[in-house]
Amino acid sequence: MNFFIAYSRITRSIFRYLAFSTLSLICLPLSALSMSFKVEPSPINDKVTLVVGRGAIETGDAARFEDAISAHPPNFRALLVTSPGGNVAAAVELAKRITANSFGVIAHQECASSCAMILFPAGDYSILTKGSMLGIHSCSASGVRHNLCNEAIAEFAVSNGFPFGTLEMFSDLYGPGEMKWMTEISARCFGFYRRVDDPKPIHGERKACVDGIINTMGPDVRLLPFGPSFNCAKATTKVEQLFCIDKELMQSDSILGRVYDRAIARKNNLEKKDLRSNQRQWIASRNADCEQLFTSSMDFVSTRDAALCLFQQNEERIYTLIDTLY
């Protein structure tokens, strides 16, 4: 089916089922203000101008977005957005304008609810600024989980190349009054992220957390607890300490451990010895590469470069080990 035909059908289904006032994707608000759109210098590079959207998503935002880019065309086609979410139908209409104008979406600080689940996937690329977070939860009708709404929004994300299972899983795990927050690490690990140079749609793009679990299904796999594959009471280095305090790194390390256990289970005694030695050498190399990115502070923002380095190396190792399963 033609991508744009599919996109149109899914958009119509969202408008049909996600009635404008009865269904909600609004979470704890970051601000009571409605969304405003201004063309401003990028917070990363002041020589670049882009559209900055701030506030709750409301009816009329799509027109305000169009007005902003017509009045003052940015020199970089991107929407930098900070929003607690808001009206579902308004978010879908704004997402259509983002796609039609070939804009990327950059989540800044916090992009939650319909911002994360509808606007974020609509971009030509979908990335987060350093230390920013996406928030995902379930749709609701009068405060009650609305499964049809969740399914339609997941299909909307799929039409933009994002994995159906990620939104479906998190909307199932986190109810209307709860929130799954994801930084760049978790977003990339679950395939809810598209870099500037990634093709669209990206159904085959890497999603190490998803692929690692899929490839370790079976009775011979020891399910690891959610956490690092070592004793945090004995953590001494900054790398070990970060794995123990960063839940998203814990998650990637746990999945890496699952894949490693599955690979070991398929080896003979000599191969097991070689793989264990290889794994120890890889861990030492990973830690040495990423240690240089630490600063004197272990707070969240200060550790993002090191955390991303550790995740990227874990991601590569997950796929290297998956390759040995076949």
> What pLDDT does residue 306 have?
96
239 vs 191, higher pLDDT: 239
Query: Average pLDDT for residues 258-279, to the nearest whole number?
Result: 93
| Six-digit token string for 180 | 């799954």
Judged against a pLDDT cut of 90, whether residue 216 lies above it is answered with no
Q: Which residue has the tokens 């799509």?
A: 62
| Six-digit token string for 130 | 């350093």
Return the CATH number of 3-189, one of 3.40.630.20, 3.10.20.30, 3.10.580.10, 3.90.226.10: 3.90.226.10
| Six-digit token string for 316 | 């590569």
Residue 38, beta-bridge partner list: 52
Judged against a pLDDT cut of 90, whether residue 247 lies above it is answered with no
pLDDT in tens, 101-139: 999 999 999 999 899 989 999 999 999 998 899 998 877
> What pLDDT does residue 175 have?
67
127 vs 222, higher pLDDT: 127
pLDDT in tens, 17-48: 443 333 445 443 444 468 999 999 988 788 89
> For the chain, where do the domains classified as CATH 3.90.226.10 start and end?
3-189
> What pLDDT does residue 234 have?
86
Q: What is the 3-state secondary structure (H, E, C) of the chain?
A: CCHHHHHHHHHHHHHHHCCCCCEEEECCCCCCCECEEEEEECCCCCCCEEEEEECEECCCHHHHHHHHHHHCCCCCCEEEEEECEECHHHHHHHHHHHHHCCCEEEEEEEEECHHHHHHHHHCCCEEECCCCEEEECCCEECCEECHHHHHHHHHHHHHCCCCHHHHHHHHHHCCCCCCEEECHHHHHHCCCCECCCCCCCCCCCCCHHHHHHHCCCCCCCCCCCCCCCCCHHHCCCHHHHHHHHCHHHHHHHHHHHHHHHHHHHCCCHHHHHHHHHHHHHHHHHHHHHHHCCCCCCCCCHHHHHHHHHHHHHHHHHHHHHHHCCC
Report the percent of the chain where pLDDT is more than 90: 48
Give the integer Cα–Cα distance in Å for 120 and 219. 37
Q: Which residue has the tokens 């978790």?
A: 186
Judged against a pLDDT cut of 80, whether residue 270 lies above it is answered with yes
> What pLDDT does residue 144 have?
74
